[in-house]
Amino acid sequence: MKILTLDAFPKRRPVVENRKTIQGNAAKKAREVAKNTGHWALADDTGLFVKALGGRPGVYSARFAGPGCTFRDNNKKMLRLMRKVPPSQRQASFRCVAALATPKGKVVRVEGRIDGIISLKPRGTMGFGYDPIFLVPNFKKTFAELGSALKNRISHRALAFSQVPALIHQISKF
């Protein structure tokens, strides 16, 4: 199997992420890239789901603080919204959906999930996004404190992408 990145297709059209779920966005990206390139395509979408916020920011995680926001803006908004939420009610989960599509439009998906807690303040300097405020209870550290080697073994993305061989097997039956 030969693996190509989007760089191998310079005339590709960008995919607009406009679905209401991470499952929908992942499938849309995979389906459109597969259709436009004529090759199987693997895509993902990720979100942070906070129980005290009714599951927000979810699919809007990257732009939680508004258009053009930074990771820091998103973290500041999250901590502001959570400031009165007690530690016992700060549950959150990171979820990643990986979708594999054929050029004929068949799509299969898997999800990886890691549960955690929104910390009271940012901790750590590694990582990106919500990593400084996503506390992993088993390690008593945020993703930003864990380091990339450990994070890349236990994260929602790692859990989703570890299932990709099963997706390939499943979609090859179509």
Give exposure, 93-104, as e/b (b: 16+ Cβ within 10 Å): bbbbbbbbbbee
Catalytic residues: 45
What are the beta bridge partners of residue 107? 101
| Amino acid at position 55, single letter | G
Give exposure, 123-141, as e/b (b: 16+ Cβ within 10 Å): bbeebebbbbbbbbeeeeb
